[in-house]
């Protein structure tokens, strides 16, 4: 800065058109003002509303908008005094300043006639954006060098809101989702802001929509702080009010860090433990979210029914087994008498657990379900797409060997074979029961003649489930290593083993005559698959024998 000042004092022309936006974006707060004051002497500087192109931008921006995007108070003040900023530009500048909690800039813009009720981004007003303390975003794609300090401090936003309220803005203005400034303040967890808005007449009992959630619902779901809950209750919000789904604020407490104190206050204030319109109780919701402390509180302190069934016949236990970490919540429910029988109406829960949860979570479910043998034998479980499959089918689709083995351990092959029509040889191949497979061969059955309804031999099924011992035994007994099934694209066992990155199976198949050069109906060889998706070990095994 001293260098620039000396240049100006000596009469050197340092003020060029492109210097001005750069000074706003990168310079100290007063640099632009000093350059602007010298514009008359050096000439060539346009007015504050002239569009300038800078740093390869596709379109120009006025100096005022450049200053607005960067939140530079001194530059905006200088340009306002020079007549800068069109009506809309000033209103947008005020909105940006309100978002950042820059109360001094808000005051300056209000003094220069900026419109205080501009709606931006889903019809959010300046009051709502400062009440919610939204994170700052740069308003221009080319502004990569601005010194964007986070000005979302509580005091700044509070003072900004006070200025806007004193200016007479509409306090009950709603965005396009029906939220008022007070809803935004509640969601931000700002008790001081809520109290300020309420003191100016904001309605704390207002819902987001006619049948929408109250501010207590919002506080329980997004904030999870006891002080906010108590404040809203003092302001007259009804703890027993339910949303359009029939849920009281108690429902929302399951996601917060310390749900029990909030649930206790809500229940003491009249919050309902009744089921919602789908028959789910707060305990269902706590169980599905793994909220152990809240579930225990509802059961022990308020007698929540652990076997309450919703319209689908599902109890809190059914919800709990679907959680990502179900062990503790399942134990709590079982210890308090939960019925653990699953029905076919729980298909999506069962398949969802197998498809999306860890092996440990799946084991918890299988170890605690009373009729686990039944569900493993069910043929027609329906997933979210309505497709019918068994538990083992779901595990195979996921591709985890650990989970496939777990399904087989608990009898998952029964439902699989019931669907595919596989015989005893297929059963032995899946379970690794060598004696069963030998007994089938002793009866004179050809090893490759027995195929299921998808044209798969016992060897193909063994490769699909990763049963290495069965693969080795079947190959030694003469199973065809190059057989194909009827399912598109009609792969060979080597294709299947390569796709699963099953290195031991690949080695066994190659040893017993599997041909690397065979193509499936998509024209792909096993080598193609190996080069795209697996490691060097399988590729090295393919290179050892001569491709046939």
Domains of the chain: 1-83 (no CATH), 458-543 (1.25.40.20)
Model confidence over 511-534: pLDDT tens digits? 999 999 999 999 999 988 888 765
Instruction: Answer whether residue 81 shows pLDDT above 90.
Output: no
pLDDT of residue 58: 45
**Please, are residues 131 and 157 in contact by the beta-carbon 8 Å criterion?**
yes
Structure tokens at 186: 């509640």
Instruction: Answer whether residue 391 shows pLDDT above 90.
Output: yes
Instruction: Answer whether residue 387 shows pLDDT above 80.
Output: no
pLDDT of residue 26: 78
Using CA atoms, how far apart are residues 233 and 230, in angstroms rounded to an integer?
5
pLDDT of residue 2: 60
pLDDT of residue 194: 96
45-49, 143-147, 248-252, 510-514, range with the lowest pLDDT = 143-147
Share of the chain above pLDDT 70, in %: 87
**Going by C-beta distance under 8 Å and a sequence separation of 6 or more, which residues neighbour residue 84?**
47, 48, 49, 62, 63, 64, 76, 78
Structure tokens at 354: 């197998």
Using CA atoms, how far apart are residues 299 and 315, in angstroms rounded to an integer?
14
Between 143 and 515, the more confident residue is 515
- Provide mean pLDDT across the span 228-249: 93
Between 63 and 147, the more confident residue is 63
pTM for the complete prediction? 0.77
pLDDT of residue 161: 97
Between 326 and 380, the more confident residue is 326
401-406 contacts: CB < 8 A, separation 24 or more? 401/466, 401/500, 401/502, 402/359, 403/354, 403/359, 403/362, 404/465, 404/466, 405/466, 406/359, 406/362, 406/363, 406/366
- Cα torsion 304, 306, 312, 313 to 10°: value is -130
**Please, are residues 259 and 274 in contact by the beta-carbon 8 Å criterion?**
no
pLDDT of residue 40: 53
Model confidence over 38-59: pLDDT tens digits? 765 555 566 777 776 655 554 5
Using CA atoms, how far apart are residues 246 and 130, in angstroms rounded to an integer?
31
pLDDT of residue 45: 60
Share of the chain above pLDDT 90, in %: 61
- Provide mean pLDDT across the span 434-441: 97
Q: How many CB atoms lie within 10 A of CB 207?
A: 18
- Cα torsion 94, 99, 103, 105 to 10°: value is -40
Give residue 439's pLDDT band: very low, low, confident or very high (50, 70, 90).
very high
388: phi then psi, degrees, rounded to nearest 5: -95, 135
6-10, 15-19, 234-238, 424-428, range with the lowest pLDDT = 6-10
pLDDT of residue 18: 62
Model confidence over 100-133: pLDDT tens digits? 899 999 999 999 999 999 988 889 999 999 999 7
Radius of gyration, alpha carbons of the chain: 34
Q: Please give the mean pLDDT across all residues of the chain.
A: 86
**Please, are residues 344 and 383 in contact by the beta-carbon 8 Å criterion?**
no
pLDDT of residue 83: 83
CB burial of 442-472 (b: ≥16 within 10 Å; e: otherwise) equals eeeeebbebbbeeebbbbbbbbbbbbbebbb
Using CA atoms, how far apart are residues 316 and 321, in angstroms rounded to an integer?
9
Instruction: Answer whether residue 329 shows pLDDT above 60.
Output: yes
Give residue 151's pLDDT band: very low, low, confident or very high (50, 70, 90).
very low
Instruction: Answer whether residue 8 shows pLDDT above 60.
Output: no
| Torsion sign over Cα 40, 46, 48, 53 | negative
Instruction: Answer whether residue 62 shows pLDDT above 90.
Output: no
pLDDT of residue 134: 57
Pick from 308, 301, 389, 385: which is nearest to 344 by CA? 389
């Amino acid at each position: 800065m001293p260098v620039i000042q000396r240049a100006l004092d000596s009469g050197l022309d340092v003020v060029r058109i492109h210097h001005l936006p750069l000074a706003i974006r990168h310079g100290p707060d007063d640099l632009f003002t000093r350059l602007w004051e010298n514009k008359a002497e050096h000439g060539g500087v346009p007015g504050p509303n002239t569009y300038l192109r800078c740093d390869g931008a596709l379109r120009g921006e006025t100096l005022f908008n450049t200053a607005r995007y960067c939140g530079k108070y001194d530059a905006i003040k200088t340009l306002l005094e020079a007549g800068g900023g069109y009506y809309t530009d000033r209103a947008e500048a005020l909105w940006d300043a309100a978002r950042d909690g820059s109360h001094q800039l808000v005051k300056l813009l209000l003094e220069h006639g900026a419109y205080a009720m501009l709606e931006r981004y889903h019809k959010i007003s300046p009051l709502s954006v400062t009440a919610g303390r939204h994170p700052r975003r740069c308003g221009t794609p080319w502004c990569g060098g601005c010194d964007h300090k986070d000005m979302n401090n509580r005091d700044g936003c509070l003072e900004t809101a006070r200025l806007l309220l004193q200016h007479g803005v509409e306090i009950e203005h709603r965005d396009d989702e029906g939220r008022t400034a007070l809803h935004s303040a509640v969601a931000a967890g700002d008790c001081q802001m809520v109290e300020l808005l309420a003191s100016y007449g904001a309605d704390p009992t207002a819902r987001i929509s006619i049948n929408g959630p109250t501010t207590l619902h919002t506080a329980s779901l997004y904030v999870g702080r006891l002080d906010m809950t108590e404040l809203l209750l003092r302001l007259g919000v009804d703890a027993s009010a339910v949303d359009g789904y029939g849920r009281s604020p108690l429902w929302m407490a399951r996601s917060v860090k310390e749900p029990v104190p909030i649930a206790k206050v809500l229940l003491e204030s009249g919050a309902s433990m009744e089921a919602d319109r789908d028959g789910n109780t707060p305990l269902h919701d706590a169980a599905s979210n793994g909220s152990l402390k809240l579930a225990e509180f509802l059961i022990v302190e308020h007698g929540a029914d652990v076997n309450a069934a919703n319209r689908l016949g599902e109890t809190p236990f059914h919800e709990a087994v679907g959680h990502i970490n179900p062990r503790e919540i399942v134990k709590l429910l079982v210890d308090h008498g939960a019925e653990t029988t699953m029905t076919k109406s729980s298909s999506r829960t069962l398949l969802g657990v197998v498809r999306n949860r860890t092996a440990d979570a799946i084991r918890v479910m299988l170890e605690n379900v009373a009729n686990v043998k039944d569900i493993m034998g069910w043929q027609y479980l329906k997933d979210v797409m309505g497709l019918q499959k068994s538990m083992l089918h779901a595990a195979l689709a996921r591709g985890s060997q650990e989970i496939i083995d777990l399904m087989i351990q608990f009898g998952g092959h029964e439902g699989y074979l019931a669907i595919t029509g596989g015989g005893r040889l297929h059963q032995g191949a899946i379970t690794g029961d060598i004696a069963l497979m030998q007994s089938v061969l002793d009866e004179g059955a050809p090893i490759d003649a027995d195929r299921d309804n998808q044209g798969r031999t016992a060897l193909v099924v063994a490769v699909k489930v990763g049963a290495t011992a069965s693969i080795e035994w079947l190959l030694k007994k003469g199973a065809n290593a190059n057989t194909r099934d009827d399912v598109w694209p009609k792969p060979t066992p080597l294709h299947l083993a390569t796709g699963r990155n099953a290195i031991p199976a690949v080695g066994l198949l190659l040893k017993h005559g599997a041909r690397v050069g065979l193509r499936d109906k998509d024209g792909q060889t096993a080598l193609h698959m190996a080069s795209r998706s697996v490691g060097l070990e399988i590729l090295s095994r393919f290179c050892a024998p001569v491709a046939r």
